[in-house]
Structure 1
């Protein structure tokens, strides 16, 4: 493993850990990182950022950019759909965003499946 690969893996792991922390305890991360506890819609935005950081971390892990984007798209689809079905947060673009991410997730799954078949 080269130095670049090790540094990339370290950075990716850090992003994944931060993303998980934002998903699990967004208010605490806000307090520790920004000096303010997150509340209300900021918690939702922090969790979306958490999903994005996990996807970024997976994408930056050596050799897995497609899997990283698939991870983000699939998890954000589920989270946005959850928000829409619980009725707590339903902006005008919520369901179009869910549909867009469903389509992207399907396309990414197809691309990933095709890439697996062509990789020796």
Structure 2
């Protein structure tokens, strides 16, 4: 799968998640981790939403560039590390909501697709 398609898919996933975290951080975290947010957690949740929205916008704009780019590297690292961390949370069992395992799967699949695309492209010169 070419980087353009991967970046477009990742952009939409992260932008939608970011907007949801900005608008309803407590509900999103409840669905993801099985526990809600209060106080400063709401502020951090919304800040995380802003960061994910920015990541999504960066990926959307970055999809227009060919080959190995900073945008594709960032999305590769983000998805692989997000999958690993969410998997860790799920295996620990203390923070498991209804959407945790789907989130693990989405990040793992995107991460693997980014790794595959990365190693199938020649480095930019």
Give the TM-score, by structure 1 length: 0.50
Larger radius of gyration: 1
Higher relative contact order, chain-length normalized (CA < 8 Å, sep 6+):
2
If each structure's helix is expressed as a fraction of its own residues, which one has the higher value? 1
